[in-house]
Structure 1
Amino acid sequence: METTTTIEIHQDLIESCKAGSQQAFGKLYHLYAKAMYNVALRIIKVEEEAQDILQESFVKAFNKINQYEYQANFGAWLKRIVINQALDNIRKKKDIISKDIEGMEIAEQEEVDWQEVDFTIERVKKAIMALPDGFRVVASMYLFEGFEHKEIAQILGVTESTSKSQFHRAKIKLKEILKTYEN
Structure 2
Amino acid sequence: MTAIIERCKEGDRKAQFELYQQYSKAMYNICVRIINNLEEAEDILQEAFLSAFRNLDQFKGTSSFGSWLKRIVVNHSINHVKKRRLELVEMEEGRIPDHLDNEGEQDIDLILNIDRIREAIQLLPDGYRIVFSLYLLEGYDHKEISQILNISESASKSQYSRAKKKLKDILKVSL
TM tier relative to shorter chain = over 0.9
* Aligned residue type for 2:90: E
> Quick one: distance in 2 between partners of 1:171 and 1:40?
20
Which residue of structure 2 lines up, in the alignment, with residue 145 of structure 1?
A: 138
RMSD between aligned alpha carbons?
Answer: 1.3
Determine the C-alpha separation between the residues in 1 that align with 2:31 and 2:160. 19
Aligned length: 170
The percentage of aligned residue pairs carrying the same residue is 46
- Which runs of 5 or more structure 2 residues have no equivalent in the other structure? none
Q: List 4+ stretches of structure 1 deviating above 6 A.
A: none
1:121 and 2:114 equivalent?
yes
Write out aligned runs for 1:47-86 (5 A). 47-86=38-77
What's the offset of the Cα at 1:114? Answer: 2.5
Instruction: Name the structure 1 match of 2:90.
Output: 102
Q: Residue 163 of structure 1: which of 151, 156, 162 is its match?
A: 156
Q: Which of the pair is proportionally richer in helix?
A: 1
Q: Describe how 1:126-137 pairs up with structure 2 within 5 A.
A: 126-137=119-130
Q: CA deviation at 1:147?
A: 0.2
Unaligned residue ranges in structure 1 (runs of 5+): 1-9
Match of 2:147 in 1: 154
Whole-Å Cα distance in 2 between the matches of residues 121 and 77 of structure 1? 28
State the TM-score, normalizing by the size of structure 1: 0.88
Residue in structure 1 matched with residue 4 of structure 2 by the alignment = 13
- The normalised TM-score by structure 2 is 0.92
1:149-178 C-alpha deviation (Å, 9 max, x unpaired): 010001000111110011000110000000
CA distance in structure 2 between the aligned counterparts of 1:159 and 1:34, rounded to whole angstroms: 31
Work out whether residues 118 and 178 of structure 1, in 8 Å CA contact, stay in contact via their aligned partners in 2.
no
